[in-house]
Structure 1
């Protein structure tokens, strides 16, 4: 591919007119602007698809996982490439191309698990474990590719109809005993409904460097072109696919952008990410703030797994969440006290300034956070949206930390900064000078005072 040339965004105000029409000599300027705008919008539209495609690529190229394996993320280092990973519980998952496997069977043993299946637009289409149809009793889950009829013996399975050819299968173990949890994971099997498959391997990242965040520059479009070759077309996306065609991305056609298009796509991926950052880190959705007197947002702006609103699909809400995070389930939007999770996010300090890795801050957490199970506060790198890769090799503090120090009234102060605070290291999360960061506050099993917003989490304040 041709190297990118220095390029300035075309200024349509400078287009010369020939009467009521643009000068023919300036038509290339107009078309450059048109293609650039198409690319910026396509960037935002494709964020969830490219995110999962990138992660699938890392599973295959870095970890050597095939369609029938599982990758087990246990350690902090394992999760450093995972966008806004939970730092407290392990992940077990893989990305599967049903075009390779055909109908797929996943055998799960009885036990305390929670998980499910989603397509590469990150729309959940099936649940397993304690919240699923097996209710933790185990069983065989059959995944049917789009349009595939159920088999004659469908009653022998929990049947799920995939909404895409590429899927993510993932789950977490809920048993606090690590040995029992590991034994359960080792019993999970992934196999085709018909024919033989190699044994399901449990693969560890084993400290290897990997990245699940969306690629930058032309690599973003290369990844998008590649996954498009292996995916079905949703009716709602046909206009966006027309945009891709104008940008040289077509099904069944190699991606070979010329110098002009390479330059435009490279610029548009940079501009698209700026738009994604603003759309995520300065949410302007109605009701995005958890409380009007605090900086904390409701991190998840998607309403339902199908990403559909009453009159329109949630394009920018989807782009916001899937720029900063991966996967969605209805449990993340729990409306029932004691069930599911709640995610609050903040990107600025109490004064409205981006959080600075070279500065010191404190977060005051009032007594009795409204969580049935536990709460945690986590720090993420603003550039990668992944766990902060600090010397501490720890990016969170929470109620499961036995060493966490509380005040006499039960409240907790958590400190952030490049060096330990005078209070010591116990409640401290190390940040990195020269890098911005943001934070999630998670509540597992949120209670009524979260839903009625009477519990008032402090802002992150410079100390």
Structure 2
């Protein structure tokens, strides 16, 4: 074989120099982590550690933003264990409804919930008997959807027996159950029944091996107990994630997120023991990432976040996908936004139907674009003919904890609130501030001077005017003296 010279015209000296510039690194590179020094593309010894510190910081930030869902459930389980809900046969519930005392991500004050965790490693195959006319959800420990039970589930609200199997299960799969194999041993169970507390107490959770003689469940009222279920925003966040990774099989998490965590020393079957250098970097990473998460929540930049053009009211589920998928790509900001503010993943929340389910919007600013200040007084008008088959409600939340604002036991007003006043045209004017305007107490939600707050509107059974956008919620208006 012969080698022939290339007779085509090559690059000029100037063009070649330009091409090399695109593939080269300068000898001094200024970065947010400081100046990195190189000798002809090779990091100088004095810069190597700074470069790796920067890499660890970036990966720590990425790990935080991408694993908020898992940390949220680790914290939820820890909080429930602190009040005695420490096994699957113990079910926490709020009677008559949740108050602002416990720290939960955006609970509402209108409905009664039951919550617990399955432990498929300790219990093996586990049965849940869902009560009739219920809205129940099971999510895995990484906060991924497993199934609905009840009205949105295969039993269609008739009630039914659901069997949950641990990952890799190879045993018997008996008939008579709606059967699901979970990717994780731990699973989050949420029970909501239209019949309230008595209906929730019809729920049963037991080992499959005890099906013939299942023991009674224990129900623990947590509505007014003080405890925390919200994940950390500092180094402790990574300890929460390390606990999850240690407990669950390696198949439970996708390789990319698992690889990011492994690069920080968080691996299955390996103790998480960062040295002082990495510990400090991860503490910084968590605080930076938490700030970024707060920006995605309170100051969203995705146009899909906004309910109406020119409005500050935002959607909690951006894009309408419970998996946060947008044309085959994961919307990472949407996932972080949702899980930093809320709990429970189900398609029923992402795809409300006319007259069924719930719709949610929120804001963190007033009509002038200013942040909401607990020392100021504001009004919000709920226009007439609100598109809610059942009722609407507004709850006020603490911007730090994303939990109910602790200005009163029930910082909320709904169309069903006792004494709530309507205007002559059927609208409702709501008031927010540290003191109630005279005669407006029934339409007032107290706020706390020195603290910000944010409201969330829920529409139970949203109607057609919600979906066709003909009903619009105006902005919150600050009242000036």
**CA separation in 2, counterparts of 1:234 and 1:93?**
26
- Structure 1 residue 87 displacement after superposition: 1.1
1:103 maps to: 125
Match of 2:436 among 413, 416, 420: 420
- TM-score, structure 1 as length reference: 0.91
2:138 maps to: 117
1:178 maps to: none
Match of 1:275 among 282, 292, 307: 292
2:74 maps to: 53
2:107 maps to: 85
Match of 2:43 among 18, 22, 36: 22
Return closer, same or farther for 1:20/1:126 CA change in 2, 3 Å cut-off: closer
Farther-moved stretch of structure 1 (363-372 vs 299-308): 299-308
CA contact (8 A) 1:300 1:333 kept: yes
- Structure 1 residue 11 displacement after superposition: 4.2
* SS class of match (1:14): strand
CA contact (8 A) 1:331 1:339 kept: no
CA contact (8 A) 1:363 1:460 kept: yes
**CA separation in 2, counterparts of 1:303 and 1:394?**
29
State the 4+ residue runs in structure 1 displaced beyond 4 angstroms: 9-13, 195-198
- Structure 1 residue 199 displacement after superposition: 3.6
- Structure 1 residue 59 displacement after superposition: 1.4
- Structure 1 residue 286 displacement after superposition: 3.2
**Equivalent residue runs for 1:241-256 within 5 Å:** 241-256=258-273
Q: Which runs of 5+ in 2 are unaligned?
A: 1-29
**CA separation in 2, counterparts of 1:189 and 1:292?**
46
Match of 2:320 among 297, 303, 322: 303
- Structure 1 residue 302 displacement after superposition: 5.5
What are the Cα deviations for residues 16-55 of structure 1, in whole angstroms up to 9, with x where unaligned? 3334322111111111000000000000001011001110
* SS class of match (1:51): helix
* SS class of match (1:94): strand
* Larger CA Rg, structure 1 vs 2: 2
**CA separation in 2, counterparts of 1:413 and 1:333?**
29
**CA separation in 1, counterparts of 2:86 and 2:100?**
15
1:357 maps to: 374
**Equivalent residue runs for 1:331-350 within 5 Å:** 331-350=348-367
Q: Which runs of 5+ in 1 are unaligned?
A: 1-8, 176-180
**CA separation in 1, counterparts of 2:31 and 2:243?**
29
What are the Cα deviations for residues 177-233 of structure 1, in whole angstroms up to 9, with x where unaligned? xxxx33332232211112587642101226432112111312111111001112234
**CA separation in 2, counterparts of 1:235 and 1:132?**
24
CA contact (8 A) 2:139 2:146 kept: yes
**CA separation in 2, counterparts of 1:150 and 1:308?**
34
User: How large is the RMSD of aligned CA atoms in angstroms?
Assistant: 2.1
Match of 1:437 among 443, 453, 457: 453
**CA separation in 2, counterparts of 1:279 and 1:234?**
29
Return closer, same or farther for 1:373/1:64 CA change in 2, 3 Å cut-off: closer
CA contact (8 A) 1:144 1:150 kept: no
**Equivalent residue runs for 1:70-219 within 5 Å:** 70-74=91-95, 75-77=97-99, 80-109=102-131, 111-149=132-170, 151-154=172-175, 156-175=176-195, 181-195=196-210, 199-205=216-222, 207-219=224-236
How many residues in Structure 1 have an aligned counterpart in Structure 2? 447
**CA separation in 1, counterparts of 2:266 and 2:37?**
31
- Structure 1 residue 299 displacement after superposition: 1.9
Farther-moved stretch of structure 1 (301-310 vs 225-234): 301-310
**CA separation in 1, counterparts of 2:266 and 2:380?**
46
2:329 maps to: 312
CA contact (8 A) 2:375 2:450 kept: yes
**CA separation in 2, counterparts of 1:48 and 1:100?**
23
2:274 maps to: 257
**Equivalent residue runs for 1:374-389 within 5 Å:** 374-389=391-406
What are the Cα deviations for residues 137-174 of structure 1, in whole angstroms up to 9, with x where unaligned? 223111122332573522x1122232322211111121
Return closer, same or farther for 1:101/1:302 CA change in 2, 3 Å cut-off: farther
CA contact (8 A) 1:107 1:190 kept: yes
